[in-house]
């Protein structure tokens, strides 16, 4: 790892952790003493279905950082038009062609938080989610909230209807993740979900 | 020259003899100058004025150094008119794709509001007051270390970074992303473009500098509509023309190509059609043979179906179709009933209709395969002709030992040249015809094509076989007659097609 990248990351970590208590709800820590892999966490912003959820991110620092963007994806499963519900891959301009060397990990995490508050369904990463977001926003809200509660420890009582259906499918012997994805992608219709479970 | 009266569209066959014998001497002398001059001679022939192919298309082959000179020339020319620093001017010109007229036009159109032109080109106006950046020690936003201000630098947008970060940044942009004319300032959301003087002052690594210069030349050529790289691998020459057109240009490396689309010279077919054709061939040629042999289309939704089991009761798998039909007669399955094992309902109406549709789509495929096979045949033969060159060369040496002069034996090489030209033209005539609807002009064209093809094959045969057996004097006469005939038939065919383009004789299939 080049010396610029290492000093930059060290410096950034120090800055972020000093601001940690200042209410921005973001955190970054090292995986080991190499600066290549970092773990990040953002808290779901209030007023969104993700409110209070803890979303873990994997951050890979390329050799040429900060001249090339860090590679960031969601470790925690999330239901969001710009984030793949399968792989956690993120569609965000500053992580691609809009990256500038003067941006930092802190700005990246803050941008991700902003993305949770304001999705861009017209530029989707996950077409299924984006379609639901546009066609049936209340269903989207319900689903995203349920996912946040299941995977990201978001507080509050879980939707009983969703819980029941998920239970029914898993009791048939399917794993939880594909079951939940099938239900969510099929408007929580039990029969359709069972037809298309993958 | 037997049956050419039938095929003669331009009536060239009759006066061809005299015409050609007149050229005989001149021809032999100029032999080594290739066929370019030959074209000129043909255009002087009394065939009329519609000889687009044979007009001279002025072009020039430039080496890498000459390209840089050309770039500097343009910069100078414009700089004489508008007084802008060369680094800024270069960015402006790149923004206008090196079209200096357009730049000047816009520059004066926006008179008084030239700020706008600079903004659109992502560069800071040189007429603006520069910000003074004589501040104390500052920290570089990229590496977060504080440096003395003398070690900081930046563009006119005022974003300052340390020189170490700058050179790393430029290195990544140039080496990894291959950018040159459009590298922006590293600050977020700043679009001001880095000029070449800064790059050269900040980059000391020879490799990076070289790559940068190479990228600059490349984008200069790509942007400039009057320049085109020679498409040959490892050829670094550029062809410069006076005006843009679909015409043949020849690089110093020997490659002849179409200036418009960079494919090998493809007269008489148009670039669009050639492109369509090449794509179709890439997509289809192998697959379509297999499809033709092994599949049928669903009579309802036309999806292609391969039968992989013995039962003739076929159910279309397409989700929206699910049509049930009989594989043998292609009629709907219902009237067959469950008990029919062999289909004997040949003339049922709907079955017949289904078969007709099927037949039509098969005919389309057959038609494509017809043209494709012929195109491929000539392409293959053309590839083999380089072997012929070697053989002919040996023969020529042999003949020179038999007391013939160097000039006397050049006719053989010339004959192979003509053979290759004819094959290339023939190859593209099939592409041309593939996209056309039948009409009388197309019939004429096909006669021309058939005649040229027949003559070309005979010439090919002479060169392949007879050359080794027949007496040299005999063969010389035969070969010369034939290649001249081929050459003139080729001109006739091309002229006919070009005239058709001018007079809109050709009806295209959609």
Task: Kindly list the structural domains of chain A, giving each domain's residue range(s) and its CATH number in brackets, ordered by start.
Answer: 3-117 (3.10.110.10), 127-196 (no CATH)
Q: What is the DSSP letter of B464?
A: I
CA angle, A88 as apex, A83 and A94 as ends, to 5°?
60
Predicted confidence (pLDDT) per residue in B192-209, tens digit = 999 888 899 999 899 999
Q: Which stretches does DSSP call E strand in B377-470?
A: none
Would you place residue B65 in the very low, low, confident or very high pLDDT band (cuts 50, 70, 90)? confident
CB under 8 A, 24+ apart: contacts of A183-187 = A184/A79, A184/A85, A184/A132, A184/A143, A184/A146, A184/A147, A185/A128, A187/A132, A187/A136, A187/A139
Measured CA to CA, the distance from residue A42 to residue A53 in angstroms comes to 8
pLDDT of amino acid A145? 94
CATH code of the domain made up of B1-57+365-510: 1.20.120.1750
Beta carbons of B325 and B316 less than 8 angstroms apart: yes
Question: What is the chain A residue with the closest CA to B142?
Answer: A102
- Among A64, A68, A102, whose Cβ lies nearest the Cβ of B141? A102
- Among A4, A11, A68, whose Cβ lies nearest the Cβ of B165? A4
Q: In whole numbers, what is the pLDDT of chain B averaged over residues? A: 79
Beta carbons within 8 Å of B317's beta carbon, 6+ residues apart: B305
- Identify which has the larger pLDDT, B64 or A151: A151
Measured CA to CA, the distance from residue B38 to residue B23 in angstroms comes to 10
pLDDT of amino acid A177? 92
- Identify which has the larger pLDDT, B160 or B43: B160
Would you place residue B309 in the very low, low, confident or very high pLDDT band (cuts 50, 70, 90)? low
Number of helical H runs and strand E runs in chain A? 7, 4
How far is A117 from chain B, CA to nearest CA, in Å?
22
Q: How distant is the alpha carbon of residue B389 from its chain centre?
A: 25
Would you place residue B288 in the very low, low, confident or very high pLDDT band (cuts 50, 70, 90)? low
pLDDT of amino acid B31? 40
Catalytic residues of A: 91
Would you place residue B3 in the very low, low, confident or very high pLDDT band (cuts 50, 70, 90)? very low
Mean pLDDT of B243-262: 88
pLDDT of amino acid B20? 39
Which residue's entry shows tokens 């058939």?
Answer: B450
pLDDT of amino acid B336? 67
Q: Which stretches does DSSP call E strand in A75-167?
A: none
Residues β-bridged to residue A26 = A42
Mean pLDDT of B276-285: 77
Measured CA to CA, the distance from residue A141 to residue A42 in angstroms comes to 19
CB pairs under 8 A between A and B: 47
Measured CA to CA, the distance from residue B120 to residue B469 in angstroms comes to 73
Considering the domain delimited by B59-232, tell me its CATH architecture: 2-Layer Sandwich (3.30)
Tell which residue, B33, B56, B32, has the closest CA to residue B44.
B56
What are the chain A neighbours of B188 within 8 Å (beta carbons)?
Answer: 94, 100, 102-103, 107
Beta carbons within 8 Å of A141's beta carbon, 6+ residues apart: A49
Record: contact A101-B165, CB cut-off 8 A: yes
pLDDT of amino acid A10? 86
Using DSSP, state whether B2 is helix, strand or coil. Answer: coil
A47-51, B23-27, B383-387: range with highest mean pLDDT: A47-51
pLDDT of amino acid A152? 93
Predicted confidence (pLDDT) per residue in B468-483, tens digit = 655 667 778 888 899 9
ipTM metric = 0.74
Give the max Cα distance, chain A.
56
Mean pLDDT of B275-280: 84
Measured CA to CA, the distance from residue B125 to residue B115 in angstroms comes to 6
Q: Cite the residue boundaries of each domain of chain B with CATH code 1.20.120.1750.
A: 1-57+365-510
Beta carbons within 8 Å of B328's beta carbon, 6+ residues apart: B312, B342, B343
Beta carbons within 8 Å of B8's beta carbon, 6+ residues apart: B14, B492
Cis peptide, bond prior to residue A66, ω within 30 of zero: yes
* Residues of chain A with a CB closer than 8 angstroms to some CB in chain B: 2, 4, 7-8, 11-12, 64, 66-68, 94, 100-103, 107
Record: contact B186-A64, CB cut-off 8 A: no
pLDDT of amino acid B53? 46
Q: Cite the residue boundaries of each domain of chain B with CATH code 3.30.40.10.
A: 59-232
% of chain B beyond a pLDDT of 70: 81
Record: contact A102-B172, CB cut-off 8 A: no
- Six-digit token string for A174: 């399917």
Would you place residue A136 in the very low, low, confident or very high pLDDT band (cuts 50, 70, 90)? very high
B311 is catalytic: yes
Which residue's entry shows tokens 């929206």?
Answer: B320
Beta carbons of A61 and A77 less than 8 angstroms apart: no
Mean pLDDT of A41-68: 91
The torsion angles phi and psi of B392, rounded to 5 degrees, stand at: -65, -35
- pLDDT for residue B303 is more than 70: yes
Tell which residue, A82, A189, A64, A198, has the closest CA to residue A130.
A82
How far is B351 from chain A, CA to nearest CA, in Å?
35
Residues β-bridged to residue B250 = B256
Residues β-bridged to residue B153 = B161
- Among A4, A64, A107, whose Cβ lies nearest the Cβ of B143? A4
Measured CA to CA, the distance from residue A138 to residue A61 in angstroms comes to 37
Record: contact B188-A100, CB cut-off 8 A: yes
Using DSSP, state whether A83 is helix, strand or coil. Answer: strand
């Amino acid at each position: 790892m080049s010396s610029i990248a290492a000093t930059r990351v060290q410096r950034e970590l120090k800055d972020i952790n000093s601001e940690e208590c200042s209410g921005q709800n973001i955190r970054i820590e090292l995986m080991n003493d190499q600066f290549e892999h970092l773990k990040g966490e953002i808290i779901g912003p209030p007023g969104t279905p993700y409110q209070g959820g803890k979303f873990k991110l994997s951050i890979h620092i390329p050799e040429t950082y900060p001249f090339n963007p860090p590679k960031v994806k969601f470790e925690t499963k999330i239901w969001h038009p710009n984030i793949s519900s399968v792989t956690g891959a993120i569609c965000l301009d500053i992580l691609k062609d809009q990256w500038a060397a003067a941006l930092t990990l802190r700005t990246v995490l803050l941008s991700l938080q902003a993305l949770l508050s304001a999705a861009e369904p017209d530029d989707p990463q996950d077409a299924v989610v984006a379609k639901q977001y546009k066609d049936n926003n209340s269903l989207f809200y319900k689903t995203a909230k349920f996912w946040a509660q299941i995977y990201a420890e978001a507080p509050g009582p879980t939707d009983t209807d969703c819980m029941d259906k998920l239970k029914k499918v898993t009791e048939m012997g399917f794993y939880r993740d594909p079951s939940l994805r099938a239900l969510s992608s099929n408007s929580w219709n039990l029969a359709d979900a069972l037809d298309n479970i993958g | 020259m037997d049956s050419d009266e039938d095929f003669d569209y331009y009536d060239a066959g009759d006066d061809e003899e005299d015409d050609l014998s007149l050229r005989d001497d001149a021809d032999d002398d100029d032999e080594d100058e290739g066929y370019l001059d030959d074209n000129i001679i043909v255009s002087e022939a009394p065939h009329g004025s519609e000889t687009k192919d044979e007009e001279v298309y002025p072009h020039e082959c430039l080496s890498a150094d000459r390209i840089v000179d050309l770039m500097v020339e343009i910069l100078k020319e414009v700089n004489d008119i508008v007084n802008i620093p060369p680094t800024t001017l270069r960015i402006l010109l790149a923004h206008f794709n090196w079209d200096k007229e357009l730049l000047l036009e816009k520059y004066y159109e926006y008179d008084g509001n030239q700020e706008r032109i600079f903004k659109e080109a992502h560069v800071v106006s040189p007429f603006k007051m520069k910000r003074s950046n004589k501040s104390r020690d500052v920290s570089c936003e990229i590496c977060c270390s504080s440096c003395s201000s003398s070690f900081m630098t930046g563009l006119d947008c005022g974003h300052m970074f340390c020189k170490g970060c700058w050179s790393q940044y430029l290195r990544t942009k140039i080496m990894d992303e291959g950018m040159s004319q459009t590298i922006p300032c590293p600050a977020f959301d700043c679009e001001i473009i880095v000029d070449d003087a800064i790059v050269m002052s900040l980059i000391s690594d020879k490799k990076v500098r070289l790559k940068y210069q190479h990228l600059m030349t490349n984008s200069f050529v790509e942007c400039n509509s009057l320049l085109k790289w020679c498409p040959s691998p490892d050829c670094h020459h550029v062809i410069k023309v006076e005006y843009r057109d679909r015409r043949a240009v020849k690089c110093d490396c020997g490659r002849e190509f179409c200036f418009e689309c960079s494919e090998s010279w493809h007269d008489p077919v148009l670039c669009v059609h050639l492109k369509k054709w090449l794509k179709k061939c890439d997509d289809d040629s192998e697959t379509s043979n297999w499809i033709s042999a092994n599949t049928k289309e669903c009579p309802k939704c036309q999806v292609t179906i391969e039968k992989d089991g013995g039962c003739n009761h076929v159910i279309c798998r397409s989700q929206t179709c699910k049509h049930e039909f009989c594989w043998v007669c292609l009629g709907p399955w219902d009237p067959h009933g469950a008990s029919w094992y062999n289909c004997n309902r040949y003339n049922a109406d709907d079955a017949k209709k289904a078969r007709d549709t099927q037949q039509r789509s098969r005919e389309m495929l057959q038609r494509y395969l017809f043209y494709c096979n012929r195109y491929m045949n000539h392409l293959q033969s053309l590839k083999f002709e380089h072997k012929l060159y070697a053989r002919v060369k040996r023969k020529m040496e042999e003949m020179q030992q038999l007391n013939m002069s160097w000039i006397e034996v050049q006719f053989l090489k010339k004959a192979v040249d003509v053979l290759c030209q004819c094959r290339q033209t023939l190859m593209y005539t099939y592409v041309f015809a593939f996209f056309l609807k039948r009409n009388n002009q197309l019939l004429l064209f096909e006669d021309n094509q058939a005649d040229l093809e027949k003559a070309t094959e005979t010439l090919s045969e002479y060169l392949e076989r007879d050359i080794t057996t027949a007496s040299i004097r005999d063969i010389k006469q035969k070969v010369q007659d034939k290649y001249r005939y081929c050459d003139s038939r080729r001109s006739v065919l091309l002229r006919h097609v070009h005239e058709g383009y001018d007079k809109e004789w050709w009806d295209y299939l959609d």
